[in-house]
Copies of this chain bind each other. A is one copy, B any other.
Amino acid sequence: MKETQAYIERIKRVNRGYQRLELAVDRSLTAMRAGQALLVRRIDKDYDIENWDPYLRELWFPVAIQAGNIVAVERPARAHFVPGQLLSVLGPVGRAYRFRHKLRNVLLIAYEAMPAALLLMIPSLLAKQVGITLVLMGSARQYETNHLPEEVEVIQAEDNLTWSDMVMTLGWADQVFALVGQGDSLRFFGEILAIMRERHYDIPANYLFGVIQRDLPCGVGACHACALSLRGEHKLQCIDGPAFDLTELRLN
């Protein structure tokens, strides 16, 4: 965890809703792994002119890490960015996802959230011949996936959060990462868990992970505003997350 500066080197539209920003970052951040994120704040060239609106840093998950200290992220298209824009960056925030030793098939779910936090793992998993299925649920179905590698199987869930072949997809997956949107994150997790339980009577440990991406005021484990209860203890999204075993998380 360090505070460094970055600047926006290139901006590219990836689909109707999102743009891809390529950030020239501090070298240390190119070692980030899938699951880790940056807390970002625009800064002025003249540090004395500080604008406090917006107030908190935004949580940006890398979708790719490239040569030349470039970290790419996806941001909503309606936000205004310009190449050369300076950013203050806290990172890396959080822990890398822990994959099964002999992972063969992974199921990724994005529910009421754009899937950015799940994309960085894709190239390396594909290189290891891992099969990847991405299920889009709720408003995530509006996310267009044409720019993703064609090896990724994309499924649009129904309104009731199921899809055909669901039992098969679940049986086939060795591990599931379910990313949910802000706000009612715990309720979204609860819904996913309920549906999984219906289809999959016994959910083993280290199988179903919930990935949470609420705002993080401090990002360093100080404010405890991101605390979650797991088996009696409290854990922090920013330090222990973003992925938690859904069977251990207290959802109310």
Contact = CB atoms under 8 A, between A and B. Distances in A.
Interface of A is mostly: loop
Nearest to A51: B53
A52 B51 CA distance: 9
A98 interface: no
Contacts of A80: 44-45
A80 B46 CA distance: 10
A45 B82 CA distance: 14
A78 interface: yes
A78 B48 CA distance: 11
Contacts of A78: 46, 49
Contacts of A51: 51, 53
Nearest to A53: B53
Interface string A9-46: 00000000000000000000000000000000000111
A54 to B, nearest CB: 8
Interface in A32-79: 44-46, 49, 51-53, 78
Nearest to A46: B78
9 contacts: A44-B80, A45-B80, A46-B78, A49-B78, A51-B51, A51-B53, A52-B53, A53-B53, A82-B82
